[in-house]
Amino acid sequence: MLDVDPYGALQRLRPVDSFTVTSTDFDDGGPLARPQWSHGAGGVDRSPQLSWSGFPERTRGFAVTCLDPDAPTGSGWWHWAVLNLPLETTSLDAGVGTPGGPPLPEGSMVLANEDGDRGFGGAAPPRGTGVHRYVFVVHALDVPSLDLDPASTPAVLGIRCFTHALARGILIGTVNRD
């Protein structure tokens, strides 16, 4: 695992507040539960349950992303990108937005992950690459929604969140397949 804060550079460029994000599926810094692993790695590609609190009063909406900055790509691997979550949404159930799972709030949108799927792509770090961090970020935004083309990438969402973020809540899970 790298000793690098994947959001430290953003914080230096444009400091924002932080708030609390928790999950009933894993502890901060602890291993992801098997359901959050990829189907190909013995999991079921189910997004974890997430809850958040303590975000700024000026918040108007949220986005949620999940990035593996330790993927051997030079640019990380986006596992999940959800935007246009309304202000009254302060948690997501496990498996939200997947076929047969709980629905996302009306008006929300999921962008394609690195596998090209519109949903959560579970953890499947290549064997021999050590511990990987899965950085779940809830972005508290100063706008109720972001006008993005559905074909946008999670990186495009990232720059829009950078511009509109009031605060970030970060929760990190890990996986090691060595």
Residues 6+ apart with CB under 8 A from 150: 109, 111
155 lies in a domain?
Answer: yes
pTM of the model: 0.95
Provide the token pair at 24: 């009933």
116 lies in a domain?
Answer: yes
Full domain range(s) for residue 29 = 8-176
Domain count within the chain? 1
Helices (H), 2-153: 8-13
3 lies in a domain?
Answer: no
94 lies in a domain?
Answer: yes
Q: What is the pLDDT of residues 66-81, one digit of tens each?
A: 999 999 998 999 999 9
Q: What is the pLDDT of residues 126-139, one digit of tens each?
A: 999 999 999 999 99
131 lies in a domain?
Answer: yes
Outline where DSSP puts E strands in the chain.
Answer: 17-18, 20-22, 50-53, 61-68, 77-86, 91-92, 109-110, 131-141, 165-176
136 lies in a domain?
Answer: yes
User: Domain of 84: which CATH number?
Assistant: 3.90.280.10
CA-CA-CA-CA dihedral for 74, 82, 57, 173, to nearest 10? -50
53 lies in a domain?
Answer: yes
